[in-house]
């Protein structure tokens, strides 16, 4: 879809809701390299630390350690003295030997899980004893769930674990959305091999037969019949003549199947998709139809429609209309929230404050701005009065997802690239599904808090405001599972311990560019960057070219 559109309603759709134009009209064939972001002020201070490399970017904690004593230096009955002294110096309650390793080292257990500064302090205390050859944490290894979907490694940059992406491989180690249902209130859905296994029976709430192009009104068939312009309904429409298959695209971003050897992976690949059709010809649909779709998706009774047997656990609205939030739509959203179901909405593509667009300005929603491949606010995205942001792409590096090759009427399944806040919203909806899988008791407010309290700043910049920042599924999952999402380690952690009075507490997990360098971590008062060969340094302002090795203070 285009990124601008007339807001004037046409003919019979004079009071219709216009779908937020958040996707590009034409699919790109690849991802182009982004232009360098505009220069930012030179950082005021830096501290060099050319020591060992950074941490892994994951949250690391353990209650076991490996200690190797130098041969012949400490009799077995004296080891307890070494452990007691190390525990006393590090502040730990005590260490007890358990088993021996294959090379003769001892596995030692502490009273509780240690991470970050506490873990480093204990290791340092053990290594300071001359009788100890080495000491190291007995870390908890995990798999890294990289899917075998062909386009994941080459085109789905928005899912990668880098500063512009969502870090999905680390998130998938914790959750995949199993047992959750994502309602996609949109243009409907088309059959697709990357979606079909996850699609539940949905509903069509396009109330006029002409606008619906299916010859009837409300019915249990949510098939997208094409949203291309109509010569009668919207004779002056500025949208391209092709159908967008918008609902199919957003559904794939949220929950396309993974590890099936096909196409793409969704953020929550094991979640179910509940397609709710509320937008038809000309990418338009009545607000009353959208509101009915939201109520039905939430499991509330809707007069004239059969009861939904599969209520959603999160509802996605990648659509919008200028002006105040309509009362009928707010009422439907309130119904969903009362049932504990969060409603995730696109912020809009007009490049204005999201307070000027509904449903982004409706009370209680999770409104999502879009960021680009540089981790900056996308130029088309609404901003300011938003909850947070997620990757939505730009014309040079779009979001690849499921689609259909029909120019106007239904064709064959395919994959298409689009950019817009319509693409950012389902990434957050998928993240909500992950959180609900591991913490099903979290209500709408708790889920929103988990998302916002763990979001991170946009490394490419978001001066107009991206709410809490870019959603970080990994950190949010750690937080709802009772862990500490922002631990520090490696050279970044070492520098933080030396300068914590200046840097303040960590505000993000450690993030690394593809290839493992550079890395950075956000703190209350700035950033610590690490480059291979240069080590860690403190920056009060993240430099525009943070990915380039530099000694500029």
Instruction: With beta carbons less than 8 A apart as the criterion, state whether 253 and 267 touch.
Output: yes
Rounded to the nearest 10 degrees, what angle do helices 490-503 and 116-127 cross at?
120
Q: Sign of the CA dihedral 254, 218, 11, 322?
A: negative
Element (H, E) at 430: helix 421-438
Q: Where are the beta strands (DSSP E) in 347-398?
A: 357-358, 366-371, 388-391
Q: Are 477 and 435 in contact (CB under 8 A)?
A: yes
67 — phi, psi (to 5°)?
Answer: -125, 125
* Residues paired with 394 in a beta bridge: 397
CA distance 299 to 314: 11
Token pair in block for residue 370: 């879009």
Q: Which two tokens stand for residue 461?
A: 């910049």
For this structure, is 243 an active site residue? no
Q: Measured on CA atoms in the order 11, 14, 17, 19, is the torsion positive or negative?
A: positive
24 preceded by cis ω (within 30°)? Answer: no
Q: Check 237, 422, 475, 508 and give the catalytic one.
A: 422
Nearest to 87 by CA among 65, 106, 56: 65
Given the residues 186, 230, 353, 394, the one annotated as active site: 186
Of 76, 68, 62, nearest in space to 110 by CA: 62
In the structure encoding, which two tokens stand for residue 98, read together?
Answer: 């358990």
β-strand 181-186 against 314-317: which pairing, if any? parallel
Q: Is 186 a catalytic residue?
A: yes
The angle, 0 to 180 degrees and rounded to 10, between the axes of the packed helices 79-90 and 116-127 is: 140
CB 209 within 8 A of CB 216: yes
Residue 246 annotated among the catalytic residues of the structure: yes
Task: Give the CA radius of gyration of the chain.
Answer: 26
Cβ atoms of residues 217 and 207 within 8 Å: yes
Element (H, E) at 17: strand 16-18
The catalytically annotated residue of 192, 246, 249, 496 is: 246
Cα–Cα dist 44/46, whole Å: 7
Distance CA 476, CA 390 (A): 14
Instruction: State the distance between the two ends of the chain, measured CA to CA, in whole angstroms.
Output: 44
Catalytic residues: 186, 246, 422
């Amino acid at each position: 879809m285009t990124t601008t559109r007339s807001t004037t309603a046409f003919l019979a759709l004079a009071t219709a809701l216009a779908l937020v134009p958040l996707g590009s009209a034409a699919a790109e064939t690849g991802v182009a390299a982004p232009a360098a972001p505009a220069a930012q002020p030179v950082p005021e201070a830096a501290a060099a630390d050319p020591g060992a490399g950074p941490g892994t970017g994951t949250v690391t904690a353990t209650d076991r350690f490996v200690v190797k004593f130098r041969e012949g230096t400490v009799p077995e009955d004296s080891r307890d003295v070494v452990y007691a002294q190390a525990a006393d110096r590090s502040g730990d309650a005590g260490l007890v030997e358990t088993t021996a390793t294959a090379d003769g080292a001892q596995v030692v257990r502490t009273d509780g899980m240690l991470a970050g500064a506490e873990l480093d302090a204990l290791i340092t205390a053990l290594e300071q004893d001359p009788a100890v050859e080495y000491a190291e944490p007995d870390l908890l290894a995990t798999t890294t769930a990289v899917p075998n979907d062909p386009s994941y490694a080459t085109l789905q940059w928005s899912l990668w674990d880098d500063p512009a992406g969502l870090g999905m491989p680390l998130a998938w180690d914790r959750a995949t959305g199993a047992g959750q249902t994502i309602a996609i209130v949109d243009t409907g859905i088309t059959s697709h091999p990357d979606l079909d296994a996850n699609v539940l029976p949905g509903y069509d709430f396009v109330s006029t037969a002409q606008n619906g192009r299916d010859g009837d009104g409300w019915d249990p068939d949510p098939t997208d019949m094409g949203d291309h312009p109509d010569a009668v309904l919207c004779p002056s429409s500025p949208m391209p003549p092709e159908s967008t298959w918008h609902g199919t695209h957003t559904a794939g971003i949220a929950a396309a199947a993974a590890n099936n050897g096909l196409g793409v992976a969704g953020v929550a690949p094991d979640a179910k998709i509940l397609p709710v059709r509320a937008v038809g010809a000309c990418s338009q649909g009545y607000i009353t139809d959208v509101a009915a779709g939201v109520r039905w998706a939430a499991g509330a009774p809707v007069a004239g429609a059969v009861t939904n047997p599969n209520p959603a656990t999160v509802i996605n609205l990648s659509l919008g209309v200028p002006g105040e939030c309509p009362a009928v739509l707010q009422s439907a959203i309130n119904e969903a929230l009362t049932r504990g179901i969060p409603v995730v909405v696109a912020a809009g593509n007009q490049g204005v404050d999201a307070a000027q667009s509904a449903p982004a300005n409706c009370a209680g929603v999770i409104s999502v701005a879009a960021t680009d491949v540089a981790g900056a606010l996308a130029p088309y995205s609404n901003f300011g009065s938003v909850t947070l942001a997620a990757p939505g792409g730009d014309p040079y590096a779009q979001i690849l997802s499921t689609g259909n090759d029909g120019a106007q009427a239904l064709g064959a399944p395919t994959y298409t690239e689009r950019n817009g806040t319509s693409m950012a919203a389902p990434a957050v909806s998928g993240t909500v599904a992950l959180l609900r899988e591991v913490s099903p008791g979290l209500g709408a407010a708790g889920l929103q808090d988990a998302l916002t309290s763990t979001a991170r700043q946009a490394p490419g910049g978001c001066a107009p405001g991206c709410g809490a920042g870019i959603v970080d599924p990994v950190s949010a999952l750690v937080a709802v599972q009772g862990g500490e999402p922002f631990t520090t380690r490696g050279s970044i952690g070492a520098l933080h311990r030396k300068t914590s009075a200046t840097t303040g507490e960590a505000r993000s997990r450690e993030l690394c560019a593809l290839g493992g360098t550079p890395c950075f971590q956000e703190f209350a008062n700035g950033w610590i960057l690490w480059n291979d060969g240069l080590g860690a340094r403190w920056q009060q302002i993240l430099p525009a070219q943070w990915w380039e090795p530099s000694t500029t203070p």
